Chain A
Amino acid sequence: MIVASNLTKRYPGGYEAVKEASFEISAGQMVFITGHSGAGKTTLVKLLATIERPTSGSLVVNGQNLAALRRSAIPYVRRNFGLVFQDQKLLFDRSALDNVLLPLQIAGLPRRNAIRRAQAALDKVGLLAREKARPIALSGGEQQRLAIARAVVNRPTILLADEPTGNLDSESATEILEIFADFHRVGVTVVVATHDQNFIERYRPTVLRLDHGRLL
């Protein structure tokens, strides 16, 4: 499903965040990307999500080489991914439900249909009772769960998370990881970048360990 070979990302100024990484992730796998901060985890996630373009090498997702993508094709590729960021990137000017509705509006789903699906997604992360709440009124863990609901509402084949538990206490973090494990169980490919070693022991996922941009 995801095949990277000699994947390299060099930022302007010559800094190489990812160096000649080659790996394969098959459908339905749960993969953790680990490493010290600055090891290139976030860059790797951004490369997968087509937020960054590779400098060299190839990155094939669902048969499409992301390194050779036309600009106009990028939005459609991104819809394959459910993205969860460390800083959530929620929109604070609208309700939880409206946040989850955004990907469905982008996909052009009729509103009534979209609301039903958004509510189902909120239910899955235990936030249905708070659908009318603004994100500012939610706790850190709830905000992260809301971000997950937004990521999965469009039923992506790949769930991609960058340090989703970074700002959370261990209890909330466990909740979040449990939700990811649930999606993994129903067949979604889950890729999580994290520096948290505790979870690796618990879920025994495939681990991609990065050190200064190189895969170990």
Chain B
Amino acid sequence: MNAWLAQHGAAMASAFRRLWSTPLNSLLSLLVIGIALTLPGFGYVLLDNLRDLGRNASGVQQISLFMNLDASKKDVGDIEGKLRATATGKWRFVPKEEALKRMQKSEGMAEIVASLPRNPLPDAFVIEPSNTEPESLEILRKEISGWPKVAHVQLDSAWVKRFDAFLKLGKLALWMLAGIFAAGLVAVTFNTIRLQVMAQAAEIEVARMIGATDSFIRRPFYYFGALQGALGGLLAAGLVLGALRLLAGPVGDLASLYGGSFSLHAPGPLEIAALASAGAVLGWLGAQLSVSLSLRKFD
């Protein structure tokens, strides 16, 4: 157990030394890996922010319920009871008198409203469901439509559906992008490790002759690949954070022009760790492939 730990410690230390001993090469490899991971990383953060934007945008996931014109106060009370029973979130009752008053306030509408013989507007409810998944919104809309004295239920679901489809497409594109860049990362590590194996041919040959096992020879390369990948991942996280910081001001300005307040949220420690781990796993994989191929000629 002690020997095992000592050997892993030594392999890790040797990986660090190799990274340090060729600073320029290491820096270039890290840049390539970092940039390769930045694009999918940035795409992920962007989609995450868009999803939040969609979730927070007010008025998007509202259901408007219009009563029949002949609905009585009792009917309205029934609906209110049903809404309370289904407990779908917040709702607000808009009496027809209030709706008419609001309409009168609108520019150019006052005269038209005044000329009407009676109030043409129905009582209405504006519902903000707590569950905003497009599917469940649709189910809720259908259910409400079936209630007595309900004339019309309106859900701006087309918009929600479109947005959702867009996010799904974005996610798919992101995965494809991530796959391509992951392959790139593996290839970069493969090549770095291949060059290292060639540079250390003498050491490998001697070590083999004096009784080194395969894993003793391979281990430092695996650690090197994983270390390089992890550092590349951290670099990518740094680049993403930097880009978000640069974008934060303009995005805030843009949001305030549209009368909203929206701020980009940056990846958290967990996401940064995930990026570094992804880099480490891919680096390890590249090293494994490379060492297996490169060491064949030593047999």
Residues of A within 8 A of B (CB): 49, 51, 72, 75-79, 83, 89-93, 102-103, 105-111, 150-151, 154
Q: A72-B214, A105-B10 are in contact. List 16 more A-B contacts (CB 8 A).
A: A75-B211, A75-B214, A75-B216, A76-B213, A77-B211, A78-B209, A78-B210, A78-B211, A89-B206, A91-B206, A102-B206, A102-B210, A106-B211, A108-B6, A108-B7, A111-B10
The distance from the CB of B277 to the nearest CB of chain A, in whole angstroms, is 28
Nearest A residue (CB) for B11? A105
Q: Per-residue 0/1 for B220-257: is the Cβ within 8 Å of any A Cβ (1 yes, 0 no)?
A: 00000000000000000000000000000000000000
Measured between beta carbons, the chain A residues less than 8 angstroms from B7 are 105, 108
Q: Are B212 and A89 in contact (CB under 8 A)?
A: no
Complexed CA–CA distance, A63 and B203 (Å): 30
Measured between beta carbons, the chain B residues less than 8 angstroms from A109 are 3, 6
Q: Are A150 and B210 in contact (CB under 8 A)?
A: yes
B69 within 8 A of A: no
- CB contact list, B103-157 vs A, under 8 A: none
The distance from the CB of B85 to the nearest CB of chain A, in whole angstroms, is 71
Instruction: Give the residue among A51, A72, A106, A111 with the most B Cβ atoms within 10 A.
Output: A106
Neighbour of A91 across the interface among B203, B213, B214, CB < 8 A: B203
Measured between beta carbons, the chain A residues less than 8 angstroms from B213 are 72, 75-76, 106
Nearest A residue (CB) for B4? A108
Measured between beta carbons, the chain B residues less than 8 angstroms from A108 are 2-4, 6-7
Neighbour of A83 across the interface among B2, B210, B212, B214, CB < 8 A: B210
Q: Are B211 and A79 in contact (CB under 8 A)?
A: yes
5 closest A-B pairs by CB: A108-B3, A79-B211, A78-B211, A75-B213, A106-B212
B207 within 8 A of A: yes
Complexed CA–CA distance, A77 and B209 (Å): 11
- CB contact list, B1-35 vs A, under 8 A: 2-4, 6-7, 10
Q: Are A103 and B203 in contact (CB under 8 A)?
A: no
Measured between beta carbons, the chain B residues less than 8 angstroms from A75 are 208, 211-214, 216
Q: Are B6 and A83 in contact (CB under 8 A)?
A: no
B270 within 8 A of A: no
Instruction: With A108-B3, A109-B6, A110-B6 as known contacts, state yes or no: A102 contacts B207, CB within 8 Å.
Output: yes
Instruction: With A89-B205, A91-B203, A105-B10 as known contacts, state yes or no: A110 contacts B210, CB within 8 Å.
Output: no
B202 within 8 A of A: yes
Complexed CA–CA distance, A56 and B7 (Å): 37
Measured between beta carbons, the chain B residues less than 8 angstroms from A110 are 2-3, 6
Q: Per-residue 0/1 for B67-104: is the Cβ within 8 Å of any A Cβ (1 yes, 0 no)?
A: 00000000000000000000000000000000000000
The distance from the CB of A64 to the nearest CB of chain B, in whole angstroms, is 14
Complexed CA–CA distance, A51 and B206 (Å): 11
Question: 9 interchain pairs (CB within 8 A)?
Answer: A76-B213, A91-B206, A105-B7, A106-B207, A106-B211, A106-B212, A106-B213, A110-B2, A111-B6
Measured between beta carbons, the chain A residues less than 8 angstroms from B205 are 89
Complexed CA–CA distance, A108 and B5 (Å): 9
Instruction: Give the residue among A51, A108, A109 with the most B Cβ atoms within 10 A.
Output: A108
Measured between beta carbons, the chain B residues less than 8 angstroms from A154 are 210
Q: Are A91 and B211 in contact (CB under 8 A)?
A: no
Q: Are A79 and B210 in contact (CB under 8 A)?
A: yes
The distance from the CB of B211 to the nearest CB of chain A, in whole angstroms, is 4
Neighbour of B209 across the interface among A49, A72, A105, CB < 8 A: A49
Nearest B residue (CB) for A106? B212
The distance from the CB of A22 to the nearest CB of chain B, in whole angstroms, is 26
Q: Are A89 and B211 in contact (CB under 8 A)?
A: no
Complexed CA–CA distance, A93 and B206 (Å): 13
Nearest A residue (CB) for B13? A111
Q: Are B210 and A106 in contact (CB under 8 A)?
A: yes
Nearest A residue (CB) for B21? A93
The distance from the CB of B274 to the nearest CB of chain A, in whole angstroms, is 34
Q: Are A83 and B3 in contact (CB under 8 A)?
A: no
Q: Are B4 and A76 in contact (CB under 8 A)?
A: no
Nearest B residue (CB) for A90? B206
Nearest A residue (CB) for B2? A110
Complexed CA–CA distance, A49 and B209 (Å): 8
Q: Are A91 and B10 in contact (CB under 8 A)?
A: no
The distance from the CB of A184 to the nearest CB of chain B, in whole angstroms, is 21
Measured between beta carbons, the chain B residues less than 8 angstroms from A77 are 211
Complexed CA–CA distance, A102 and B213 (Å): 13
Q: Are A103 and B6 in contact (CB under 8 A)?
A: no
Complexed CA–CA distance, A23 and B226 (Å): 50
Nearest A residue (CB) for B200? A93
